[in-house]
Amino acid sequence: MILLLIALLQVKAPDAAQFVGAPHGVALQGAALERRTMEVASLLRCPVCQGMSVADSPSTVALDMKAQVRELLARGYTEEQILSYFERSYGEFVLLKPKFRGVNALVWVLPLLALLIGVVLVSMKLRKLELVDGD
């Protein structure tokens, strides 16, 4: 049975192209590639660590993920494409910076809303305290 299944074929690992299409960006190399690799890897969560990013973690899976990021950037994939490639297999969990989308938009909006309300409240309080003065 097993022998039947094994054919002499080209080794082919799953590739990002199957899932996110052709690269949309410019192929990077040299120092720019290294810098972008660290930048993009710092947006990905290492799945076996505790909240550490792929850029920071020395664990084996994080090193592989970082190598994958480097390869994809070198082939011209954009940050967005790379992030959605990882999101596809690991879920939203892998994105350290939540996308402004659906429920997750709240995490960006709520602090700003709080700031707005706070500014209004503080200026009202200040006016009230100044008014007590009688002028």
Partner 1 sequence: MPFAIGTWLACAAFFSFLIAGPANPFLTIANPPPDGPGPNPLLQNHLLMIIHPPMLYLGYVGMTIPFGFACAALLRGRLGHSFLRPLRASLLLPWIFLTVAIMLGGWWAYEVLGWGGYWAWDPVENASLLPWLTATAALHSAIVLERRGVLKGWTVTLVQATFLLTILGTFMTRSGVFNSVHSFTQSSIGPTILAFLAAALLFSVVLLALRIDSLESDGRIESAASREGMFLVNNLLFLILTFTVLIGTVFPLVAEAINGKQMSVGRPYFDAMVVPIGTALLFLIGVGPALPWGRGTREEILRATLPPLATGVVVAAIGYAVGVRNGWTIVTLLFGGYAAHVTLKEMWLPVARSGTSALRRGRRRFGSYVVHAGAVVVLIAIAVSSTTRTSREVRFSRGDSASIGAYTVTFLGAEDRAEPHRQSTIARFAVTKNGRAVTTLAPRMNQYATMREPIGTPDVHSTLAGDLYLSILNVDVAQQRVALHLIVTPMVMWIWIAALVMGLGGLLALIPVRRTSVILTQSAAKGKDLEMADSFGMTS
Partner 2 sequence: MNRPVLFIGTAIAAALIAVLFVGLGNDPQQIRSPMIGRPAPAFALKEVGTGQTLDLQALRDTPTIINFWATWCMPCYQEHPVLIDNARLFGSKVQFVGVVFNDDEASIQKFLRERGSAFPTLLDQQGKTAIAYGVGGVPETFFLDRQGIIVAKFSGPMTTDVLQANLEKAIR
Interface ranges with partner 1 (CB under 8 A): 38, 42-43, 45, 48, 50-53, 56-60, 63, 91-98, 102-104, 106-107, 110-111, 114-115, 118-119, 122-123, 125-126, 129-130, 132-133
Q: Name every residue whose Cβ is closer than 8 Å to that of residue 46 and which is 6 or more positions away in sequence.
A: 52, 53, 54, 56, 57, 59, 61, 62, 65
Q: 73 to 102, contacts with partner 2 by CB under 8 A?
A: 86-91, 93
- 64 in contact with partner 2 (CB under 8 A): yes
Q: Which stretch binds partner 2 (CB under 8 A): 13-21, 25-33, 76-84, 102-110?
A: 13-21
Minimum gap (Å) between residue 38 Cβ and partner 2: 18
Distance (Å, whole) CA 7 – CA 64: 28
Could you tell me the two tokens for 30?
A: 């040299």
Could you tell me the two tokens for 22?
A: 């052709």
